[in-house]
């Protein structure tokens, strides 16, 4: 089975020992995507306190990573969402659903995480998609 490392030049580089995604076995496994905006780590920005803006940025980053891997959101089969405040689930869901055709939603689990990798992150999403 071949394994291909995927990193998108349109997404902020990871600072930890992790890549944006790995393509293997007919699937693309995307690391938890964050709401950083910008392709340079030192100048990347975050929409602090704005959940909807952060969701849009995460999904934009996700699309860039999936495109780099030769696939797209419409081929997503499973996503795991980490929210720092589950009381904002309805707000999250209303924004998230705009990225998919009605009825073509991926399987999904949403959990509350008191603390994400950066103190200003409100959301992080990982994904498994068909290659």
Q: What is the pLDDT of residue 129?
A: 98
SS3 32: strand
68-79 residues labelled b (16+ CB within 10 A) or e (exposed)? bbebebebbeeb
**CATH classification code of 3-130:** 3.30.1330.40
Q: What is the pLDDT of residue 15?
A: 85
How far is 81 from 33, CA to CA, in rounded Å?
10
pLDDT (tens place) for every residue of the chain, 131 residues total:
899 999 999 999 988 899 999 999 999 999 999 999 998 888 999 999 999 999 999 999 999 999 999 999 999 999 999 999 999 999 999 999 999 999 999 999 999 999 999 999 999 999 999 99
How far is 26 from 112, CA to CA, in rounded Å?
30
Q: What is the pTM of this model?
A: 0.96
> For residues 36 and 124, is the Cβ–Cβ distance under 8 A?
no
SS3 6: strand
Give the residue extent of every domain in the chain.
3-130
> For residues 51 and 29, is the Cβ–Cβ distance under 8 A?
no
> For residues 37 and 88, is the Cβ–Cβ distance under 8 A?
no
Q: What is the pLDDT of residue 42?
A: 85
């Amino acid at each position: 089975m071949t394994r291909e490392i995927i990193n998108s030049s349109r997404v902020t580089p990871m600072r930890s020992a992790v890549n944006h995604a790995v393509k293997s076995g007919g699937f693309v496994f995307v690391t938890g995507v964050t709401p950083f905006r910008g392709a340079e780590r030192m100048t990347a920005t975050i929409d602090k306190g704005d959940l909807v803006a952060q969701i849009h940025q995460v999904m934009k980053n996700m699309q860039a990573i999936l495109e780099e891997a030769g696939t797209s959101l419409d081929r997503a089969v499973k996503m795991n969402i980490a929210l720092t405040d589950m009381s904002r689930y309805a707000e999250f869901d209303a924004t998230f659903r705009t990225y998919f055709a009605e009825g073509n939603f991926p399987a999904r689990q949403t959990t509350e995480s008191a603390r994400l990798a950066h103190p200003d992150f409100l959301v992080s999403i990982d994904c498994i998609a068909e290659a």
